[in-house]
Amino acid sequence: MTRIDAKFAELKASGKKAFVAYVMAGDPDYETSLEIVKSLPAAGVDVIELGLPFTDPMADGPTIQLAGQRALEGGMTLQKTLDLATEFRKEDDTTPIVLMGYYNPIYNRGVDTFLADAKAAGIDGLIIVDLPPEEDDELCIPAQKAGLNFIRLATPTTDDKRLPTVLQNTSGFVYYVSITGITGSAEAQAADVGPEVARIKAKTDLPVIVGFGIRTPESAESIAGIADGAVVGSAIVAKIANGDPVESVQAYVKTLADGAHRA
């Protein structure tokens, strides 16, 4: 059982929905980023999604693209991202960390080396958005064997024919992308998302978490109300981009987490 599995079992037992927060590793700089990540559990974050900076983040909107650029310009690398997770683990051995990014940096490092290093750093799961299920032998299957969850995205265009393929080797949770398009581009609507979540849950026992287009405590609450939890990324990253102090970012994240936990 991974930390992700344990967290969702704990939430289910207490009748709570999950709040997942995304931040880009190394944005605006390594030290501030580490401080922000360390602040998230106290703000009520159940699972941390840690963005891996990449030069060509095709699934991300301008907010997260710019965060990745800032991180890369500040010298952030895959190794420093793992170092950040290692530092976080010195104080927190229970909050799950999901590394979210693209395959190229992992491929360059070598899959076996990466998986061993990620496991040692305290990474619990991976979301690699540019590896489809047809490429599961590349990373998904080895990751599962190494004890990491491999979390897949389902989208509004994932039809009933495609869904079983998407779910086949997924573990930890299913990430449902609430809107068609890039991150941060529109607002999620519970009325639209609800039937899609129900459709996915009919095919899997995994928790279904909804992300993209959630910016307020109210939307976090409404989306968590029809799913197993909510993810917020771009809205948090925008606060960091504004230069808000860590305490301010933490306070904002707490309002979102409180919203999801009310559901």
Tell me the catalytic residues. Answer: 49, 60
Instruction: Say how far apart CA 21 and CA 232 lie, in whole Å.
Output: 5
Q: Which residues is 231 bridged to in the sheet? A: 20
132 upstream amide cis, omega within 30 of 0 = no
- Of 198, 192, 203, the C-alpha closest to 166 is 203
- Contact between 176 and 209 under an 8 Å Cβ cutoff? The reply is yes
- Taking alpha carbons only, the member of 55, 163, 154, 40 closest to residue 98 is 40
Q: What is the DSSP letter of 228?
A: S
Amino acid (one-letter) located at 227: A
59 and 130 Cβ atoms separated by less than 8 Å: yes
Q: Are 180 and 59 a contacting pair, CB within 8 Å?
A: no
